[in-house]
């Protein structure tokens, strides 16, 4: 009997203690307040992660990505234009992109002057450069001057179409003994700009 009284008294004391501490019954159902709190935290983290994933690239990064085009070692395009028409359009397209035409070598004309008639028609070589960039391209790799100036060529193919092409400038990277990020960026930009110039001619 005393043991039963003691147990009842103990339960009474524990109940009084819990009430004084303000501890309430916590439901383990789906609407448990602690579960709700955890859900709020998870939602906040998820929203933040989503925001990071959807964050846009800076404009400068986009512009740099747009400056790079992948080209074969030799890029050519053909069109049904006379050499005279293509000559005017090509010179205009290069000047718009701030390239200076140093010289135009008339290869077919020279061959004919030597009496060689069994040769490609309308073969010209346009030597172009942008001297301000030359400083950065050649500063750490002076032997690359052997690949300057840039060259764009023309000739009439067997289908009687005028071909305009060039060796991509970034090929010079193969002989870049001293890697230079500034020079590489310029050469890659040249790839893009020469392609644009040539494509512009044949789109007319």
Kindly give the pairing relationship between strand 124-129 and strand 150-156. Answer: antiparallel
Q: In what order do the strands lie in the sheet with 162-167?
A: 74-79, 162-167, 150-156, 124-129, 100-106
Taken in order of first residue, the domains within the chain and their CATH numbers are 2-53 (no CATH), 60-202 (3.30.310.70)
Cα(26)–Cα(33) distance, integer angstroms:
8
Model pTM score: 0.67
pLDDT on residue 67: 64
User: Could you read off the pLDDT of 110-158 as tens digits, one per residue?
Assistant: 999 999 989 999 999 999 999 899 999 999 999 999 999 999 999 999 9
Residue 44 vs residue 90, higher pLDDT = 90
Cα(134)–Cα(182) distance, integer angstroms:
11
Cα(89)–Cα(164) distance, integer angstroms:
12
* Residue 58 buriedness (CB in 10 A; 0-12 / 13-18 / 19+): exposed
């Amino acid at each position: 009997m005393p043991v039963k009284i003691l147990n009842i008294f103990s339960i009474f004391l524990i109940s009084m203690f819990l009430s004084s501490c303000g501890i309430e019954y916590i439901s383990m159902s789906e609407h448990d307040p602690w579960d709700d709190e955890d859900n709020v935290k998870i939602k906040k983290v998820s929203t933040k992660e989503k925001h990071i994933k959807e964050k846009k690239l800076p404009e400068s990064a986009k512009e740099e990505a747009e400056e790079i085009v992948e080209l074969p070692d030799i890029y050519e395009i053909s069109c049904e234009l006379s050499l005279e028409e293509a000559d005017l359009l090509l010179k205009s397209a290069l000047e718009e992109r701030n390239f200076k035409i140093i010289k135009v070598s008339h290869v077919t004309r020279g061959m004919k002057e030597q009496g060689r008639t069994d040769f490609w028609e309308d073969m010209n070589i346009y030597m172009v450069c942008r001297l301000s960039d030359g400083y950065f391209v050649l500063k750490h790799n002076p032997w690359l001057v052997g690949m300057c100036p840039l060259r764009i060529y023309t000739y009439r193919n067997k289908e009687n179409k005028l071909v305009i092409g060039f060796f991509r400038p970034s090929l010079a990277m193969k002989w870049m003994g001293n890697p230079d990020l500034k020079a590489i960026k310029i050469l890659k930009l040249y790839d893009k700009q020469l392609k644009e110039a040539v494509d512009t001619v044949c789109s007319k």
